[in-house]
Structure 1
Amino acid sequence: MSWTGDACNTKVNLEAPENICAGLMTLTAQQSFLLFGTNVSLFIYYVLHRFRDSWSVLCLVTWICIVELFTTATHVSLLFEQLSSSGDKTLLFAWTANTIPLITVSLSLPVQLFLIRRVNELSESHVLTGLLGLLSLFSAVMSFGTTRIALAYEWPAAICNLGIAASLFWYLTNDKDITLDLCLRIATECAIPVALFYIGNIVFATALPPTGWRGFFEFNMSRMYSATFFATLNAQAPKEAPDLDKDAFEALIEKRVASGESEEEKRYKLSSEASMLELKVVGQLDNVGYLEDSANSDDCHSQFLDFSTIGVWNL
């Protein structure tokens, strides 16, 4: 059985091409642990900033942390079983292999719905939101049958990720507030790598001979979703708005819709105001300098009169 074998079968054939590459398995596990460290750093950044998020977002943060810890334990167990097989041909109760699709979907579904909600708030298109939501839900349902229908959950998830990335990129081209622009740019930049990981896994599983490189993509897709979620939340803390909650985010959206002013126009206005302020300051400094010069000239003139008077009396 490979990583998409029969879910009812509790044995894994170690002679399968996916399971004989200990070096690739080790490299895959190391990449997973590296991404886990990145996600921990993002989580610490999120905790230290104490964002005033809603209870639903806080519950999602807690859920992602729990799944991340379980994923790490799963990868450690699978790596240990792989490297300590001692020449055995089968491993009994290889639960780690069959839980990979479920772990991935347990993170992909809430994160995709989180980003789809952002797309809905920007586009106000129920058709686009419904289509992306159906793809995400279909991927979650098919994850339970993935062990019988190979890659059944990855195709709709990949299409959903590309749809989210394309939608966010489309709205990034419109005029918007700089804080909202940062949030959406981070979400777009994170959604694209997740889609590429899905595509890489599908290509290695279908178009190429079975190799251990498939696990390099499949093992770490859940990590990419966690990184996407935390990076999007941490984008709420630019210098202009350190505490951005749900109400503030909706206010930014309303401001973006109501205002037709672009970022270039805002920068031009700020630069013009700065230039006018600089001219005013320079003018005030010139006036102060002129008054000082006048005062100095009056003092010199009075001193000259005093000296002249003294000279006259001496004569």
Structure 2
Amino acid sequence: MSAITTKDIAETLGAVQIGVLFSTFLFGILFMQWVAYFTSRFNDGWTIRALVYWVMILDITHVAISWEYLWMYTVDHFGNAATLYASHWQYDSGPIFIVLTAAPTQFFLVNRTRKMLGRQHPYLANAIFGFTCVLGFVQVFMGLFMSGSLLALDASGSATTEGYLKYVPIAVAWESVAIATDMTVMITLVGTLMYRRTGFRQSDWMVYNLILVAIECALPVTLFTIGHISGVVASPTTAMHQLFAWSQARLYSNTLFLNLNERSKLRRGQEGTSHGSSNVKEVNFLGAMDRGAGRSMTRPQVHIDVSREEHYVMESMSNKGNDADSGNDADFKGAAAV
């Protein structure tokens, strides 16, 4: 083996360090998303709660593995040149965490599309849902196969990064299917939300916020997936692709929690104008006419009690069949006694 160079260190240890640190930074943001979700006390069904806990467990485990991976390079095998060229189970298990986080998130989002579109166009909604699920399952299968193959390579005990070369086509196919799934979810969700515009300012404000969230969530995931593919194709025997690989699962998790937590903002309404109330207790039109007359007759009165309440409520995004429409509840009560 030739002498190790600064370039070798930068392309392996340097890329690993940046990738793990950025993933840890995203984990910090994700932790705040968890806090926001649980403090908001959403009335979600058991399926949503199970998805939340599933994603949390995967993220904590994957981040812990990434820290152990960095510790191995910088402490346990510090100065060992062979470590830079060896394959390691910590990274090779990464596709498992990516696909097991990505697929449930994609299914959750496309199911929202199916619910919003299902009443007017049930066949189209079911077709989109079925097509996306097929892509998602293909993505999961290819990701698990990719990770299983790499872990089997590690089990030999003397595997190096040169062995990654034959798995490059599988990695490209897996990530390409992932991009296709993400784009299908985003395009159908944005298209459905645009279709659900009502022309009313408050409702459309909610719709545009959801569209913005969908785009903001899809773009980082897609860019990092493209970066991962580019790194694998350009330099499969180095760790350049790990600049992006460690953060992909965190981005999918952030997509899930950002969509769940957006309900708090939408419930508050646009700058607090979604809630208004007014009360008029009593108006006595004829009482002044009889004052001073000294008569014991019953004076005509008009008693009006009016209350108006408006609430704009976003879909709970639970499995209870609620739609994504905003609702207005007005209750007018009047009582008159003469």
TM-score (norm: length of structure 2): 0.64
1:165–1:188 Cα contact (<8 Å) kept: yes
In structure 2, relative to structure 1, the CA distance for the partners of 1:17 and 1:172 (3 Å cut) is farther
| Aligned-CA RMSD value | 3.1
Aligned residue for 2:216, secondary structure, equals helix
| Superposition deviation, residue 215 in structure 1 | 0.9
Change (3 A) 1:35 1:242: farther
1:191 to partner: Cα distance: 1.7
Q: Bigger shift: 120-129 or 230-239?
A: 120-129
Q: Residues 263-301 of structure 1: CA distance to partner in whole angstroms, max 9, x if unpaired?
A: xxx9xxxxxxxxxxxxxxxxxxxxxxxxxxxxxxxxxxx
Q: Identity of counterpart residues, as a percentage?
A: 24
1:44 Cα deviation (Å)? 0.4
CA deviation map 1:100-133 (0-9, x unaligned): 0001011011101101101212233221111111
Cα drift, residue 93 of structure 1: 8.8
C-alpha separation in 2, matches of 1:115 and 1:169: 11
CA contact (8 A) 1:52 1:244 kept: no
**Deviation of residue 245 (structure 1)?**
2.5
Distance change >3 Å, CA 62–CA 88, structure 1 → 2: same
CA deviations over 1:242-270 (Å, ceiling 9, x no partner): 785347995544x57xx9xxxxxx9xxxx
Q: 1:150 to 1:19 in 2, by over 3 A?
A: farther
Larger-gyration structure (1/2): 1
Q: What is the CA–CA distance in structure 2 between the aligned matches of 1:167 and 1:128, rounded to whole Å? A: 8
Among 100, 106, 124, which residue is 2:94 paired with? 100
Q: Which has the larger displacement, 17-26 or 113-122? A: 17-26
Q: CA deviation at 1:173?
A: 2.6
Cα distance 1:180–1:50, how it changes in 2: closer, same or farther (>3 A)?
farther
Q: Residue 17 of structure 1 contacts residue 212 of structure 1 at CA under 8 Å; is this kept in 2?
A: no
Aligned CA distance change for structure 1 residues 248 and 106 (closer, same or farther; 3 Å)? closer
Q: What residue is the counterpart of 1:3 in the other structure?
A: none
Q: Does 1:66 align with 2:57?
A: yes
Distance 1:219 1:247 in 2: 30
Secondary structure of the residue aligned to 2:43 is coil
- Greater shift, 113-122 or 211-220, is seen at 211-220
Cα distance change on mapping 1:237 and 1:248 into 2, 3 Å: farther
Partner Cα separation in structure 1 for residue 206 and residue 9 of structure 2 = 45
Matched, 1:191 2:184: no
* Partner amino acid, structure 2, of 1:101: P
Corresponding residue of 1:212:
239
Q: Tell me if structure 1 keeps the 8 A contact 2:19–2:242.
A: yes
CA contact (8 A) 1:19 1:212 kept: no
Amino acid aligned to 1:204: G
- Equivalent of residue 166 in structure 1, options 173, 187, 191: 187
TM-superposition CA deviations, 1:221-252 (whole Å, max 9, x none): 00000100000000111203578534799554
* Deviations 1:45-97 (CA, angstroms, capped at 9, x unpaired): 11111111111111111111111110111110111122232315149893212
Task: Return the offset for 1:23.
Answer: 1.9
Please tell me whether residue 117 in structure 1 is matched to residue 111 in structure 2: yes
Residue 26 (structure 2) aligned to one of 28, 35, 39: 35
- Map of 1:213-292 to 2, 5 A cutoff? 213-238=240-265, 239-240=268-269, 245-246=316-317, 251-253=322-324, 255=325
Secondary structure of 2:263 counterpart: coil
Structure 1 residue 144: deviation in Å? 2.0
Q: Which has the higher helix share?
A: 1
Aligned length: 243
1:167, CA displacement in angstroms? 1.3
One-letter code aligned to 1:228: T
What TM-score, normalized by structure 1, do the two folds share? 0.68
